[in-house]
Amino acid sequence: AQSVTQLDSQVPVFEEAPVELRCNYSSSVSVYLFWYVQYPNQGLQLLLKYLSGSTLVKGINGFEAEFNKSQTSFHLRKPSVHISDTAEYFCAVNIRINNDMRFGAGTRLTVKP
């Protein structure tokens, strides 16, 4: 079965600084990759997803992620963060041949003024 590892449980960063949230996955078959964001006491919202094509995926709120097949990674980046980006971010992987979504444990991003 596939699995997802989010390498950092917490990432503190100052406002307007760049940020990278790391995600590695393991799977013996082809996968689709997702990043979701969760604001406090709310549901998850899709930031972006990789299905095929260009390995650089752009999402909402200025986020982007790069699919690296050789390193089995899908890191999320933003060049300049805002206070409003403070939230929990989840990486998820889904096997193409069935629908078996697996979520990472999450990375709590805290943006400080």
Partner 1 sequence: DGGITQSPKYLFRKEGQNVTLSCEQNLNHDAMYWYRQDPGQGLRLIYYSQIVNDFQKGDIAEGYSVSREKKESFPLTVTSAQKNPTAFYLCASSLRWGAEETQYFGPGTRLLVL
- Site for partner 1, rule CB under 8 A: 4, 9, 32, 34, 36, 41-46, 49, 51, 90, 92, 94-106
To partner 1, the closest distance from the beta carbon of 1 in angstroms equals 10
Nearer to partner 1, 15 or 86 (CB): 86
Q: Return the amino acid letter for 15.
A: E
Nearer to partner 1, 37 or 111 (CB): 37
To partner 1, the closest distance from the beta carbon of 69 in angstroms equals 17
Please give the Cα distance from 53 to 80 (Å, whole number): 26
To partner 1, the closest distance from the beta carbon of 15 in angstroms equals 26
Q: Return the amino acid letter for 98.
A: N
CB crowding 9-18: b at 16 or more within 10 Å, else e: eebebeeeee
To partner 1, the closest distance from the beta carbon of 9 in angstroms equals 7
Nearer to partner 1, 28 or 97 (CB): 97
Q: Return the amino acid letter for 77.
A: R
Nearer to partner 1, 14 or 39 (CB): 39
Backbone angles phi, psi at 62, to 5 degrees: 80, 5
Please give the Cα distance from 5 to 24 (Å, whole number): 5
